[in-house]
Structure 1
Amino acid sequence: MTTLGIYEKALPKNISWLERLQLAKKLGFDFVEMSIDETDQRLQRLDWTKEERQEIRVAIEETGIQILSICLSGHRRFPFGSQDKEKRSQALILMEKAVDLASDLGIRTIQLAGYDVYYEEKTVTSRAFFIENLKKAVAIAAAKEVVLSIEIMDDPFINSITKFLKIKEQIRSPYLQVYPDLGNLSAWSENDVGYELALGIDQITCIHLKDTLAVTETFSGKFKEVPFGSGCVDFLGCLKTLKQLEYNGPFLVEMWSETSETPEKEIEQAKNFLIPYLKEAGY
């Protein structure tokens, strides 16, 4: 039985966690992926009190809708690969707090953005710092049995499973895995998507379902807010490939409709587009 989740940023922004999980349930999802991005508002979640954490555990129990993963994109602001030593140490503090939060809330996976740096220039040094600090992060996560899963990105640093596996060669741990985004994987013309999924099948913790516009020589691609069906992703091909590879992990619908006038309608449209493909592929 495959589980289907929804990204927190698809759901209305200014509602309580109980309301968010109730809405996910009403819309027919099995779980929610929490966002801890680079805004102060969401980074503050890493310092939730015992009482605030308990409130969320109660909401999970009451609704039966779990939070299976955290999308920790706060590292864009405090990257592992930064030239700034202060930012690198802040990155590890964020990591430790995120692992503690995941452990407290029963969250299994923390998705990390596969950037060495985001706002700085990429160098051989930024790559070396990234790997050095990722090793430390994996050790922190392993101690609490939380898996770190690197998303395949909208950025050349890790835009394929092949590139993830090159880094994994240096960090041999079951607590470091990969989180392919079918949109990001498909947008880079150098990726043979079916081959990439087969290559990484034994490392995949979850799959993001999202459409994208492909990168070309004259266009830098579009990686967010591309309506399902208007982009370059061959959903049936990707899902059939995953089924043949016996992938039974969760799927997560990634959308950004939290400030939309009609988020529920947009989510329903996305489901109406995706579910026939999931069924046809055998899910």
Structure 2
Amino acid sequence: MLGIYEKALPKSISWPERLALTKLLGFDFIELSIDETDERIARLDWTKAQRQEILSAIMDTDIPILSMCLSAHRRYPLGSADIKKQEMAIELLKKAVDLASDLGIRTIQLAGYDVYYEPKTIASRQTFIENLAKCVAIAANKGVVLAIEIMDDPFINSISKFLAIKSQIPSPYLQVYPDLGNLSAWPENDVGHELEKGISEISQIHLKDTLAVTSDFEGKFKNVKFGEGCVDFMGCLKTLKRLNYSGSFVMEMWSETSPSPEVEIENAKAIVLPFLKEAGYA
């Protein structure tokens, strides 16, 4: 299955329109965004009536919301030195799990940051792991999987680093969500080997291009056109196929404020779909 990240689609449309457009563009599902803005965090408090409206649109269009990107933890990180921010991070997670349960979302993607706007310390790592364990227990109670994305940040920029944390929280409800762009941008990563090491823990895959980190360039992790970055899509996809990965893929784009997001999506599909087809993904 191939999904599309919500932020690729026009921002100022209703959910019924968004789901209908997702179908029109040929995708199988959409990934919901709960980012660090007040506007999107407020979605965690949708009323029953609002949730029912979205469920009705899902039934009408046959386009589910299968995953959620919970990047609000950048603002309220699990590893924060501020106890109130830690408490808010866990409260956001509880609400996200409830929303996922109500809407049929299977996977909540967590950003692999201990902290984002604060200094990284041994203590921030320790606090992150302690609070992540609490979050996994909350999600497991409702049968929702938490999947940590491989990031644009050194804290978890490889599957190997995820596995080091997973070894301390050995739950089937904690998985990894590789972003092929982020994974490929870090020169220390042997991407094929990383996918091999983590295949049994992968819940979903982000398709995105990036520009690699070098000694004098910090890399570019967003808004790189497909085919213009460093990602060996064919190599990655053929490796995943050999490893019998049969989960879903999500095209990650940020064209929601573009004058013509549909055109940008179609252009991206024209590059991505042949790679998927040649690798053996129908």
* TM-score, normalised relative to structure 2: 0.99
Q: Give 1:77's match in structure 2, choosing from 57, 75, 81.
A: 75
1:34 aligns with 2:44: no
Q: For residue 12 of structure 1, what is the amino acid of its counterpart?
A: P
Offset of 1:108 from its aligned partner? 0.4
Equivalent residue, structure 2, for 1:211: 209
C-alpha distance in 2 between matches for 1:96 and 1:272: 38
Secondary structure of the residue aligned to 1:165 is helix
Equivalent residue, structure 1, for 2:229: 231
Offset of 1:81 from its aligned partner? 0.2
Q: For residue 255 of structure 1, what is the amino acid of its counterpart?
A: M
Structure 1 residue runs of 4+, over 3 Å off?
none
1:194 aligns with 2:192: yes
Number of residue pairs the alignment of both structures matches: 281
Secondary structure of the residue aligned to 1:258 is coil
Deviations 1:75-128 (A, max 9, x none): 000000000000000000000000000000010000000000000000000000
Deviations 1:126-158 (A, max 9, x none): 000000000000000000000000000000000
1:261 aligns with 2:275: no
C-alpha distance in 2 between matches for 1:281 and 1:172: 32
Alignment of 1:89-108 (within 5 A): 89-108=87-106
Deviations 1:210-230 (A, max 9, x none): 000000010000000000011
Q: For residue 56 of structure 1, what is the amino acid of its counterpart?
A: I
Alignment of 1:127-138 (within 5 A): 127-138=125-136
C-alpha distance in 2 between matches for 1:237 and 1:109: 26
Q: Which runs of 5+ in 2 are unaligned?
A: none
Offset of 1:236 from its aligned partner? 0.3
Deviations 1:1-43 (A, max 9, x none): xx00000000000101100000000000000000000000000
Q: For residue 46 of structure 1, what is the amino acid of its counterpart?
A: L
C-alpha distance in 2 between matches for 1:282 and 1:95: 36
Alignment of 1:42-53 (within 5 A): 42-53=40-51
Equivalent residue, structure 2, for 1:174: 172
Q: Give 2:118's match in structure 1, choosing from 108, 120, 124.
A: 120
Offset of 1:44 from its aligned partner? 0.1
Identity, in percent, stands at 73
C-alpha distance in 1 between matches for 2:12 and 2:77: 28
Offset of 1:249 from its aligned partner? 0.3
Deviations 1:179-215 (A, max 9, x none): 0000000000000000000100011011000000000
C-alpha distance in 2 between matches for 1:36 and 1:46: 8
Q: For residue 206 of structure 1, what is the amino acid of its counterpart?
A: Q
Offset of 1:235 from its aligned partner? 0.4
Equivalent residue, structure 1, for 2:242: 244
1:23 aligns with 2:21: yes
The RMSD of aligned alpha carbons is 0.3
Equivalent residue, structure 1, for 2:4: 6
Secondary structure of the residue aligned to 1:111 is strand
Offset of 1:66 from its aligned partner? 0.4
Q: Which runs of 5+ in 1 are unaligned?
A: none
